[in-house]
Amino acid sequence: MKQLDNILFVCADEAFHQKLSEIFKPEIYQLTTDVDDAFALIAAGYLPDLIVVDLVLPKLTGAETLDQLQKKLLPKAIPGIIMTNNDRLVLYSLARIPELLGVMSKKGESILLYERIKKLWDDYQTLLVDGEPMKSILNPK
């Protein structure tokens, strides 16, 4: 199972920034506040294992941001997670491996956020075959 070493967070929420510093060591993640800063990081050679975006961002929605970043990183398939304060969206989200591992709530204590991210990552890792997403009828890519 691959360890989660490089996480790209795209989030403009200052309260979340504080939680993030309580969750992860600084060398494990990069934090940007919009898609342009994230593109600059990638252009400088940063290759994340996982992209976590806030649903509400200044320029594009979280879904649009995730889509743009994943296209920029092709042919490497980088999974993503969307965070939101709207718990109803979390209840009705479906994963689309490898593009979207899930929609998670960013509410709660820092340890809960860490556990949510880790669970989605670990669940994704169990679906990999030889380090690549399984091809199936549901995932024909």
Closest Cα to residue 66, out of 129, 9, 113, 3? 9
Region 70-80 average pLDDT: 92
Instruction: Quickly state the pLDDT bin for 136 (edges 50, 70, 90).
Output: very low
- pLDDT greater than 60 at residue 140: no
CB atoms within 10 A of CB 53: 28
pLDDT tens for each residue of 108-127: 888 888 898 999 898 888 87
Region 15-42 average pLDDT: 91
- pLDDT greater than 90 at residue 95: no
Domain chopping of the chain, boundaries: 7-131
pLDDT tens for each residue of 47-66: 999 999 999 898 898 989 99
User: Rounded to an integer, what distance in angstroms lies between the CA atom of residue 131 and that of residue 45?
Assistant: 21
Instruction: Quickly state the pLDDT bin for 93 (edges 50, 70, 90).
Output: low
| pLDDT score recorded for residue 30 | 95
Fold classified for 7-131: Rossmann fold (3.40.50)
132's tokens: 């690549």
User: Rounded to an integer, what distance in angstroms lies between the CA atom of residue 78 and that of residue 101?
Assistant: 10
Instruction: Quickly state the pLDDT bin for 41 (edges 50, 70, 90).
Output: very high
Instruction: Quickly state the pLDDT bin for 88 (edges 50, 70, 90).
Output: low
Identity (one letter) of the amino acid at 112? Answer: L
